[in-house]
């Protein structure tokens, strides 16, 4: 019996993904474990492998590059020799199967189940129509719900489902094609943006955030980096790399800033893995620099350069964004001097780094001298730390920054 290839759920919160590319062609013989296609889920793009073998036959409506695909959608089949594909499924493909932890790693037999696992017409507003409008039109429950949400009249749509049934994607395509009132343009939400929004709301709802700031002298830091640049090496640590290195000993002295809230207890990490907020162009990603405390500055720079490049190329793996106990976010390169960074759960604190500015600083004799200074903005969860503890951490970090050579040797 043909084995269906469905879009798997790559994460518990995933409902849809952006189809990146097919890695095999229609008619290719696929061996178990070979990658079939690439899908961008919550935050990262992943190759999806076949858990069985057979001849690949793509569905007539197989997704194209950049298309949004619902979890559970039928993408194609794996066939035995001389076997033909089943008729295209109807609405059943719209209902994503619940993840089954016991069966997730089991290769399916030829019983018509999914082989993929993770490593429109014009619409018109329905305002003013009675609630029963469109009830006589064959449509799936998901399509009807989408029609209510997007104010789409089902009777104006051209169905693509089996037996002339309107599917959810028919409604969504029509809604996207409908001119918005007031001259606004609709911008579809990507899975990445949905995930970012969900995580930010989770942070806001599950922490008690407080932000404190401290001005810091960066003159020696600037001088040290200029010296590193002057060596002419192929890899020059950034200011953020240096601050990652200096943050580790400050956290070791004030371990509660790296603690995680776990309802009836707190968790303290054995190793200091630090998150680094990266602007990936279409959203914020936070890859993790491993074991910062034991790494040299050049090792940190190597890690961060590799992870930043992967983030901007959409090639971060889920494992690259897990395990941090504290995060740094640097908006200084964009001219921002101070801000209120948002805690990245389950962490309990995040450090914002502002722009370095040359300022006139008064001396004891009444004269002035030019110094490079910037602002540290620390947001912490007040459930885990009090203000005095957070202030002492900033004080320690400021001392390390103002005399960086003591920690960078």
pLDDT digits 0-9 by tens, 73-104: 999 999 988 787 765 444 444 444 444 433 33
Q: Is the pLDDT of residue 282 over 50?
A: yes
In 184-277, which ranges are E strands?
209-217, 260-261, 266-267, 274-276
pTM score over 0.85: no
CA distance 161 to 73: 13
Is the separation of the CB atoms in 211 and 377 below 8 Å?
A: yes
Say which CATH topology domain 3-117 has.
Answer: OB fold (Dihydrolipoamide Acetyltransferase, E2P) (2.40.50)
Place of tokens 């640049």: 229
Residues 181-205 have pLDDT tens digits of 567 777 777 777 877 888 889 899 9
Residue 306: helix, strand or coil by DSSP? helix
Q: Which two tokens stand for residue 311?
A: 């983030």
What is residue 208's three-state secondary structure?
coil
What's the pLDDT at 120?
39
DSSP letter for 44, please. S
Backbone angles phi, psi at 383, to 5 degrees: -70, -30
Angle of helix 387-402 versus helix 239-253 axis, rounded to 10: 130
The DSSP code for 50 is E
Dihedral class, residue 405 (left if φ above 0, else alpha if ψ from -120 to 50, else beta) = alpha
- How high is the mean pLDDT of the chain? 83
Count of helices and strands (H, E) across the chain: 8, 20
Instruction: Pick from 89-93, 110-114, 367-371 the range whose average pLDDT is largest.
Output: 367-371
Greater confidence, 306 or 82?
306
How far, in Å, CA of 70 to CA of 53, rounded? 24
> Does 193-408 carry CATH code 3.40.1180.10?
no
Give the start-to-end residue ranges of the domains of the chain.
Answer: 3-117, 193-408
User: Cβ(192)–Cβ(43) under 8 Å?
Assistant: yes
């Amino acid at each position: 019996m043909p084995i269906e290839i469905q879009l798997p759920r790559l994460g518990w919160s995933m409902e849809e993904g952006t189809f990146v590319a097919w890695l095999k062609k229609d008619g290719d013989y696929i061996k178990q474990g070979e990658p079939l296609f690439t899908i961008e889920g919550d935050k990262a793009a992943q190759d999806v492998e076949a858990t069985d073998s057979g001849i690949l036959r793509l569905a007539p409506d197989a997704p194209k590059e950049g298309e949004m695909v619902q979890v559970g959608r039928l993408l194609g089949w794996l066939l035995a020799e001389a076997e033909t594909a089943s008729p295209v499924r109807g609405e059943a493909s719209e209902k994503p199967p619940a993840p089954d932890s016991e069966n997730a790693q089991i290769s399916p037999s030829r019983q018509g189940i999914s082989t993929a696992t993770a490593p429109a017409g014009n619409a018109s507003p329905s305002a003013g129509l009675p609630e029963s409008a469109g009830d006589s039109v064959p449509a799936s429950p998901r399509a009807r719900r989408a029609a209510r949400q997007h104010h789409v009249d089902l009777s104006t749509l051209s169905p693509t489902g089996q037996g002339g049934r309107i599917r959810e994607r028919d409604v969504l395509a029509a809604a996207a094609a409908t001119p918005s009132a007031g001259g606004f343009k609709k911008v579809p939400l990507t899975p990445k943006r949905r995930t970012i929004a969900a995580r930010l709301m989770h942070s806001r709802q599950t922490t008690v955030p407080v932000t404190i700031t401290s001005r810091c002298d960066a003159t020696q830091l600037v001088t040290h980096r200029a010296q590193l640049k002057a060596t002419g090496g192929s890899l020059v640590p950034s200011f953020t790399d240096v601050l990652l290195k200096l943050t580790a000993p400050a956290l070791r002295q004030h371990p509660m800033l790296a603690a995680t809230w776990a309802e009836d207890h707190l968790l303290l990490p054995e190793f200091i893995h630090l998150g680094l907020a990266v602007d990936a162009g279409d959203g914020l990603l936070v890859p993790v620099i491993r074991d910062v405390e034991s790494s040299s500055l050049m090792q940190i720079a190597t890690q961060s350069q590799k992870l930043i490049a992967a983030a901007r190329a959409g090639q971060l793996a889920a494992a690259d964004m897990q395990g941090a106990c504290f995060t740094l976010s640097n908006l200084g390169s964009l001219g921002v001097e101070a801000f209120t960074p948002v805690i990245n759960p389950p962490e309990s604190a995040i450090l914002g780094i502002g722009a370095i500015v040359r300022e006139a600083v008064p001396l004891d004799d009444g004269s002035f001298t030019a110094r490079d200074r910037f602002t540290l903005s620390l947001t912490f969860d007040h459930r885990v730390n009090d203000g005095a503890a957070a202030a002492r951490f900033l004080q320690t970090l400021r001392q390390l920054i103002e005399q960086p050579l003591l920690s960078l040797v």
